[in-house]
């Protein structure tokens, strides 16, 4: 074993880059070694660089994950269907608002292949920034989010009621056929435009693609094309009366289906014999034309304020 302290002895003499060692086979020249201090410093700098690179990568990772999700429209899609399936907060109205530049002026006309963003504006404007940052924040706070979820679900019906204003009655189970109802043609208005000589229902202002809802619980009697009424839905209610919703651009229910008050059954449009987008709404004593009664009076009798 070498003598103690020999490793630390200061080298002297002119030969500073080699050490002459005697051996049985003759003299050999030992090549210089890197100083212990330099090697130790190199070892320490490597982990530091690795750590800095890892920190930089982890810092940029959330930004890459925060990009908004997109959806490619397929045949048979409509905004309300996409919003429901993808659970878009704010419904089809929010989805349309965020993708108006892509969809155009008519929300009921979307084409296969269109790319829609979910939960953020398609233009990528500053207004969409809070939405794009939300996913990374939500992932970091996962336990708290799970705890808060029931409260969010509980608050949702209250928000919907507040948006609809006077169109829904509190706890009655009945609702106006559209939110913020505005009657443009009254029941029994006279004129040559109608085959019976008068208007058999009430027309509500509704741009194409507006959500149309069942006024109360009941069963769908028919849903489909009906001549001058275009696409229509007829529902029988628990009191034996019938409600009719005409000129729809799309249908979301079928015959025999049970519905609740306020449930979306289709989207408004201008199909059939129509002068422009609106909802033609009737209340009848039977399922067919000619058995109409005052629809506004019927809604008010069920606590719906119009």
32 located within any domain: no
Task: Please indicate, yes or no, whether residues 217 and 286 belong to a single structural domain of this protein.
Answer: yes
Residue 52 has pLDDT above 70, yes or no: no
* 274 falls within a domain: yes
Catalytic residue among 199, 237, 278, 280: 278
Q: Which long-range contacts (CB under 8 A, 24 or more apart) does 288-293 make?
A: 289/200, 290/196, 290/200, 291/242, 292/187, 292/200, 292/201, 293/241
The reported pLDDT for the residue numbered 91 is 84
In percent, the amount of the chain with pLDDT more than 90 equals 35
DSSP 206: -
Please tell me the predicted confidence (pLDDT) of residue 269: 96
Which among 89, 92, 85 has a CA at the least distance from the CA of 107?
92
Reading the block at residue 254, the tokens are 């079928």
| pLDDT, position 122 | 67
Residue 211 binned pLDDT confidence (cut-offs 50, 70, 90)? very high
Work out the pLDDT band at 234, boundaries 50, 70, 90: very high
| pLDDT in the model for residue 26 | 44
Contact 202, 295 (CB under 8 A): yes
Most confident of 89-93, 134-138, 196-200, 281-285: 281-285
Same domain as 115, residue 191: no
Same domain, yes or no: 189 and 273: yes
What pLDDT is stored for residue 112 in this prediction?
78
| Summary mean pLDDT of the chain | 72
What is the spatial distance between Cα 130 and Cα 14, in angstroms, rounded to a whole number?
Answer: 71
Query: Is 294 in the same domain as 223?
Result: yes
pLDDT at 178: 97
127 domain-assigned: yes
pLDDT in tens, 168-203: 443 569 999 999 999 988 897 876 565 556 789 999
Domain boundary among the residues 91, 124, 141 is at 141
**pLDDT at site 73:** 85
- Average pLDDT over every residue of 55-59: 51
The count of structural domains within the chain is 2
Residue 103's CATH number: 3.10.350.10
Query: Given pLDDT bands bounded at 50, 70 and 90, which one contains residue 156?
Result: very low
Percent of the chain at pLDDT above 70?
Answer: 58
Cα distances (angstroms) measured from residue 38 to each of 5, 6, 44, 286: 20, 20, 10, 97
The residue from 86, 114, 141 where one domain ends is 141
In a shared domain, residues 135 and 187: no
pLDDT value of residue 222 = 96
**What does each C-alpha distance from 232 to 108, 222, 252, 277, 285 come to in angstroms?**
16, 8, 11, 14, 17
Helix crossing, 129-140 with 36-65: angle to 10°? 120
pTM, two decimals, is: 0.47
Question: Domain range holding 261?
Answer: 183-301
pLDDT digits (tens, 9 = 90+) for 65-104: 567 889 988 876 778 888 888 888 888 888 888 988 888 7
Residue 159 placed within a domain: no
**Active site annotation includes 278:** yes
In the prediction, which pLDDT does 176 show?
97
pLDDT digits (tens, 9 = 90+) for 249-272: 999 999 999 999 999 999 999 999
User: Counting Cβ atoms within 10 Å, is residue 263 exposed (0-12), middle (13-18) or buried (19+)?
Assistant: middle
Q: Residues 113, 114, 118, CA angle at the centre, nearest 5°?
A: 125
- Whether pLDDT at 303 is above 70: yes
Strands, sheet with 250-251, edge to edge from the N-terminal-most edge strand: 211-213, 264-267, 250-251
pLDDT at 35 over 60: no
Same domain, 187 and 296: yes
Are both 229 and 281 inside the same structural domain?
A: yes
């Amino acid at each position: 074993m070498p003598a103690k302290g020999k490793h630390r002895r200061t080298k002297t003499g002119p030969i500073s880059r080699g050490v002459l060692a005697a051996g049985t086979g003759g003299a050999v020249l030992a090549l210089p070694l890197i100083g212990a201090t330099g090697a130790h410093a190199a070892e320490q700098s490597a982990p530091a660089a690795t750590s800095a690179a890892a920190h930089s990568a982890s810092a940029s990772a959330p930004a890459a994950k925060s990009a908004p999700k997109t959806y490619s429209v397929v045949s048979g899609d409509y905004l309300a269907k996409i919003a429901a399936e993808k659970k878009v907060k704010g419904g089809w109205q929010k989805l349309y608002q965020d993708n108006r530049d892509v969809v155009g002026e008519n929300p009921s006309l979307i084409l296969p292949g269109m790319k829609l963003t979910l939960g953020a504006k398609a233009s990528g404007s500053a207004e969409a920034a809070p939405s794009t940052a939300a996913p990374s924040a939500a992932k970091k706070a996962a336990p708290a989010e799970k705890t808060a979820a029931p409260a969010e679900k509980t608050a949702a019906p209250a928000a919907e009621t507040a948006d609809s204003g006077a169109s829904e009655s509190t706890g009655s189970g009945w609702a106006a056929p559209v939110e913020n109802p505005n009657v443009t043609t009254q029941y029994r208005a006279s004129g040559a435009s109608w085959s019976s000589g008068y208007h058999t229902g009430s027309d509500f202002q509704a741009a194409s693609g507006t959500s149309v809802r069942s006024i109360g619980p009941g069963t769908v009697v028919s849903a489909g094309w009906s001549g001058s009424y275009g696409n229509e839905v007829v529902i029988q209610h628990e009191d034996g009366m019938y409600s009719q919703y005409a000129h729809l651009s799309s249908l979301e229910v079928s015959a025999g289906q049970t519905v609740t008050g306020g449930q979306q059954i289709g989207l408004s449009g201008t199909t059939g014999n129509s002068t422009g987008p609106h909802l033609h709404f009737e209340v009848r004593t039977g399922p067919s034309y000619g058995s109409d009664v005052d629809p506004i009076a019927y809604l008010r009798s069920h606590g719906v304020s119009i």
